[in-house]
Amino acid sequence: MNWILSTFERLWVTALFLAVPILGVWTWVIADRYGWWFPENVSSYGDQIDHLFYVIMWMVAVTFVITEVVLAIVILYFTERKQGRSTYTHGSHKLELIWTAVPALLLVFIAFSQMEAWNDVKIDLPRGVATAEVPYTVDEPIFDVWASQFDWRVRYPDENGNFEGAGVIESPYDIYVPVDTRVVFRLRSRDVLHSFFVPNFRLKQDAVPGMAIPVWFEAQKTGSYDLICAELCGWGHYKMAGRVHVLPKDEYAAWLATARREHRSNGADDLVALGDGDDDDDE
Amino acid sequence: MPMTSSIRTRARALALALSFASLTVAGCKLDPKVPEQRHSLNQAELAKNPDLAGDPQAQATLSGALGMLFGTPAEPAYLRVADWIDDGYDPNLGGYDELTADEWDALVADNEVHFVRQLAAIDAGAFDDVARPLYAVDLWRRWEQHLALLEPDGDEPGMQPDDLLDPDDEKYGTWRDEAKRLFTGFYPTMRETADMYRQQCQHCHGVSGGGDGSTAQFLEPRPRDYRPGIFKFTALKDKSHPRRQDLARTLREGIYTTSMPSFARFSEARIQGLVDYVRLLSRRGETEILLANDFEAYSEDVDSSLALEKIRDTYLFVNDRWPTDDEKVIVVEGEVPEPTPESIARGKQLFLGGEGTGANCASCHGVAGLGNGISATEIDPETEKPVLVKDEWGNPIAPRNLTHGIFRFGRRPIDIYRRIYSGINGTPMPAHIGMQITLDDGTKREIDENDIWDLVHYVQYLGTVDIEPAVKLTANAMAAARAGHDDHDHEHGHGPGQHTHDDDETDDHSHDTQSDGAAVGGH
């Protein structure tokens, strides 16, 4: 086999390898225009998460471009141009030290710079007594989310905060929360691992069978946001969707009151009274 | 020599790359061929009717009749009999015809959410960007026809988006208004819903709704077989067929802790369309079962006009069985009663009371509500071992463990009330309203609404109790029951009831038997 490349082939291979960083950067540049980038952040800690993402992304991006360009240069200039004996080298101790120490320092930097975000998002949960500023605490979650194959059920406590018993409201798919409020809920699973993922909140938390994991977020903009399962949980994983509806505080209170009233329905709202209301025969 | 071999290698690589490329192109152009689906006859009914099973001619007649009445999986359609045409009744329109004005408004509002991108594209005039929705062949055909109005027709210039669609008819707005109305007023046709059913429902519920799809055998409980026309969860009394609203509710809410998930991610129009299709499959199955059981009516020796009349009568009979009004809906007067300690205590008494003295709940649900009552199992005549009783579809069914606090039909008090009031269709759970009971003092009376509320409150209470004491209570009760019933299978050394007077010894002798669980709990 003859591995000597002609000049044309060498240029061609170099261009091929150069295309990787060029296409990669280009994809990043146009991503936002095509909606391939992050969805809108509406949660209080979303900026922290995004900031961490960007810090790491820039580190990786710069390293990526440099290594790819160096690779292309090496291909262009140092490809063997004639057949002959190989030469051997024991490597460079200095270089090895550098490429070990630099990533190690970067890792230490990441480890320390993420601590605040981790603390704020996962550890510093509102505990103790609920106040006007923090209406819900770990001890007083606003609702439970039960994951199971293949849907999300949200369980709202009764007026006294009980999660069991007659006044508990349970519904699939739709979760209603107040805006600008620290919402704490407990995440549970009935069967296997699931993951509660709301991209707009930058919130992702695994649901583990046997555990009631406290999760919190504070949505700062009203609207309806997608909830998806981010842990492959079985054949119906793809259909395990939901919606988180962020309502203005007064609307949330009104919704909760309506939900509680409907929960105590005497069945009359299931009547349909089929009339001939639908008379527009524009078929 | 090296040069030629290198050229050969390159030529070979090039040929290989070209053939891969051409295969890819050809592969993309190929339309995947979906095998045509057909309804099959209900095998369980065939097994029950050996005459029909041995008569291919009659089977063909039956299949043909069902095809005529209900269409095929690809083109489902009810046959409209002459009376229906005269009355203007068309079951193929389904909810389009049956929804109330309020329900229709909610459906349109939901369409506006689900077609938000299409509507925005129409507003922006970017008609090529209007994305084709899933399961919408007929909608898309209408959209393309509508779009064609903008194209010039010979010398005639095309329409402008803001031109009135029909200046002579005030009913129509501009072209753009009508374009948006195609999407906001979308109600799926039977064919579109059949497409959706094929992708979303069929793998469990089967082509003909027999609950025999490819994933069905892995599920517990098994998916519903629509063909007998029995649906467990309705808001109705008297084991009535479900209303449109009952089926829609099941689709929206799912059935918790079963494999039936919530389909709330689909629009209201889709859910209503699925209701139409499930009802079609169910009516088809009912018609089939009735006809299969009346095989003589259309076998070879019967005049074909008589046979046709029989088929038509059955078709109409089944159609009339499906309620379209609220007559059977269970509603309570005034406010729903709140649970009180007294009502829970009364409920407990009824719950534990046996047949004739109470509501007899404990016989299946167990004294502690764990779903392990004495009537939950029956003795299998072949193996002489206890097995779970079967429901009307022939699947083993376990009574609900009420201590889990999971209620499949919903946890509103009225939902639990309705379940106790009218029972669960197709299962051993009976209707309790009007059940005769004899009180301790000898007076006879019927279970009334207040009794059912007491039971509801007790059942709700059971869902909140700590399971540990409940397990012990049941274990004790079972030990007592074992002590009471004496040994009936002496010849089997490991029988559950052998040394019942000494619990500890029983444990040692009875591994692998169902007394294990109770005995462990008893320690």
| Contact by Cβ (8 Å): B278, B322 | no
| Interchain contact, B335 vs A171, CB within 8 Å | no
Cβ-nearest to B405 among A164, A172, A240: A164
Hey, is the C-beta of A95 within 8 angstroms of any chain B C-beta? no
Three-state SS at B444? strand
A76 at interface of B, judged by CB pairs closer than 8 A = no
The alpha carbon of residue B464 is apart from the nearest alpha carbon of chain A, in Å, by 5
With contact defined as beta carbons under 8 Å apart, do B301 and A229 qualify?
Answer: no
**Alpha-carbon separation of residue B511 from B188, B340, B472, B498, B506 (angstroms):** 57, 43, 19, 12, 9
| Residue A152, SS3 per DSSP | strand
For residue B264, give the chain A residue with the closest CA: A173
Tokens 């489902």 sit on residue: B76
Q: Which residue of B has its CA nearest to A190?
A: B257
pLDDT tens, N- to C-terminus, chain B (523 residues): 444 556 666 777 777 777 777 777 766 666 666 678 899 888 888 888 888 888 888 888 889 999 999 999 999 999 999 999 999 899 999 888 889 899 999 999 999 999 999 999 999 999 999 999 999 999 999 999 999 989 888 888 888 888 888 888 888 889 999 999 999 999 999 999 999 999 999 999 999 999 999 989 988 889 999 999 999 999 998 889 999 999 999 999 999 988 899 999 999 999 999 999 999 999 999 999 998 888 777 666 667 777 888 889 999 999 999 988 888 899 998 899 999 999 999 999 899 887 777 888 989 999 888 888 888 888 888 888 888 898 988 889 999 999 888 889 888 999 999 999 999 999 999 999 988 888 777 788 888 999 999 999 999 999 887 666 656 666 666 666 666 554 444 444 343 433 434 333 333 343 433 333 333 333 3
Q: Give the minimum alpha-carbon distance from A226 to chain B in angstroms, rounded to a whole number.
A: 10
Q: Confirm or reject contact between A149 and chain B (CB < 8 A).
A: yes
The residue of chain B nearest to residue A189, with distances taken between CA atoms, is B257
Amino acid at B338: E
Contact across the interface for B405 and A265, Cβ inside 8 Å: no
B307: closest CA of chain A, how far (Å): 35
Q: Which residues of B touch A240 (CB under 8 A)?
A: 261
Contact between residue B405 and residue B463 where contact means Cβ atoms under 8 Å apart = yes
SS3 state at B501? coil
Tokens of B322: 């499906």
pTM of the model: 0.83
> What is the Cα–Cα distance from B134 to B188, expressed in whole angstroms?
11
Q: Which of A162, A192, A233, A274 to mutate to test the interface with B (most CBs of B within 10 A)?
A: A274
Q: Does A6 touch chain B (CB under 8 A)?
A: no
| Helices (H), ranges, B206-328 | 244-253, 268-293, 304-321
Cis ω for the linkage preceding B266 (within 30 of 0): no
A117-165 pLDDT tens trace:
999 898 888 887 777 777 777 777 889 999 998 889 999 998 888 888 8
- ipTM of the modeled complex: 0.82
CA distance B377 to A245: 45
Find the residue in A nearest to B249 (Cα): A270
Cβ contact (<8 Å) for B331 and A268?
A: yes
- Which among A153, A242, A263 has the least Cβ separation from residue B256? A153
Interface test with A, best of B411, B415, B419, B420 (most A CBs within 10 A): B411
CB–CB contact A270 B235 (8 Å): yes
Partner A contacted by B59 (CB < 8 A)? no
